[in-house]
Structure 1
Amino acid sequence: MGRATIHDVARAAGVSVSTVSKAVNGRYGVSGATLDRVMQVVHELGYESSLIASSMRASRTGVIGVLVADFEPFSTEILKGVSTALHGQSYDLLAYSGSRHGDTAGWERRSLSRLSGTLIDGVIMVTPTVVNAVSEVPIVAIDPHTGPADLPTVESDSFGGAREAVAYLIGLGHVRIGYIAGRPDLRSSIARDAGYRSALSDAGLPVDQSLIGVGRYEQDIAREAAVALLSRPDRPTAIFAANDLSALAIMQVAAEFGLDVPGDLSVVGFDDVPEASQSFPALTTVRQPMQRLGAAAVGMLTTLMRGESLEHTHRRLPTRLITRATTARPRV
Structure 2
Amino acid sequence: MKENVTLEDVAKRAKVSRATVSRAVNTPESVSPEALKRINKAIADMHYVPNRHARALTGVRSKTIGLIFFHDINTLFESAFWGHVINPIYEKLSVLGYDLQIIAHAKMHTSKSGEDSGNEYSEDIAEKISEYNVDGFIVVGQTPKNLEVIFSQVRIPMIAFGAPLIPTSTVSWVDTDNKSGGRMAVDYLVSKKRKTIGMITGGLEQSWSVSRYEGYKKGLAKAGIEYDPSLVEHSSNTYANTMSLTERLMRRRHDINAIFAGNDEMAFAVIQTLKELNYSVGSDVLVIGFDNTNRTLQTFPNITTVGQDFEKIGEYLVTGLLQKMKGEKISSRKIAPKLIIRGSA
Normalising by structure 2, we get a TM-score of 0.76
1:285-296 paired onto structure 2 within 5 Å: 285-296=305-316
Shift of 1:106: 4.2
Separation in structure 2 between the aligned mates of residue 197 and residue 154 of structure 1, nearest angstrom? 23
- CA RMSD, Structure 1 to Structure 2 (Å): 3.1
1:94-243 paired onto structure 2 within 5 Å: 94-99=101-106, 103=110, 106=116, 112-127=126-141, 128-131=143-146, 132=148, 133-134=150-151, 135-147=154-166, 148-232=168-252, 234-243=254-263
**Which residue number corresponds to residue 88 of structure 1?**
95
Shift of 1:267: 0.5
Q: Secondary structure at the match of 1:231?
A: helix
1:223-302 paired onto structure 2 within 5 Å: 223-232=243-252, 234-302=254-322
Whichever residue aligns with residue 123 of structure 1, its letter is F
Separation in structure 2 between the aligned mates of residue 173 and residue 62 of structure 1, nearest angstrom? 54
Separation in structure 1 between the aligned mates of residue 275 and residue 184 of structure 2, nearest angstrom? 26
Separation in structure 2 between the aligned mates of residue 165 and residue 247 of structure 1, nearest angstrom? 13
CA contact (8 A) 1:19 1:30 kept: no
Moved more, 273-282 or 161-170: 273-282
Q: Secondary structure at the match of 1:239?
A: strand
CA contact (8 A) 2:110 2:144 kept: no
CA contact (8 A) 1:281 1:325 kept: yes
Whichever residue aligns with residue 317 of structure 1, its letter is I
Shift of 1:101: 7.7
Overall identity of the aligned pairs, in %: 24
**For each residue in 1:90-139, what CA deviation from the matched residue of structure 2 results, as whole angstroms up to 9, or x when unmatched?**
32101122116895764995655323253222111114132423223112
4+ residue runs over 4 A deviation: 19-22, 50-59, 100-112
**For each residue in 1:129-186, what CA deviation from the matched residue of structure 2 results, as whole angstroms up to 9, or x when unmatched?**
3242322311211113311211001111111111111111111111110011123133
Shift of 1:271: 0.4
Whichever residue aligns with residue 114 of structure 1, its letter is K
Q: Secondary structure at the match of 1:179?
A: strand
**Which residue number corresponds to residue 63 of structure 1?**
64
**Which residue number corresponds to residue 3 of structure 1?**
none
CA contact (8 A) 2:10 2:46 kept: no
CA contact (8 A) 1:61 1:118 kept: no
Structure 1: 5+ residue stretches without partners? 1-9, 40-49, 328-332
Moved more, 153-162 or 273-282: 273-282
Separation in structure 1 between the aligned mates of residue 57 and residue 272 of structure 2, nearest angstrom? 53
Shift of 1:212: 0.6
Judged with a 3 Å threshold, the aligned counterparts in structure 2 of structure 1 residues 102 and 191 are, in CA distance, closer, same or farther, namely closer
Judged with a 3 Å threshold, the aligned counterparts in structure 2 of structure 1 residues 100 and 155 are, in CA distance, closer, same or farther, namely same
Moved more, 90-99 or 66-75: 66-75
Shift of 1:81: 1.6
User: Is the helix fraction higher in 1 or 2?
Assistant: 2
Judged with a 3 Å threshold, the aligned counterparts in structure 2 of structure 1 residues 21 and 96 are, in CA distance, closer, same or farther, namely farther
**For each residue in 1:272-314, what CA deviation from the matched residue of structure 2 results, as whole angstroms up to 9, or x when unmatched?**
011112322110000011232122111111111122222x2x1
Judged with a 3 Å threshold, the aligned counterparts in structure 2 of structure 1 residues 76 and 161 are, in CA distance, closer, same or farther, namely same
Q: Secondary structure at the match of 1:144?
A: coil
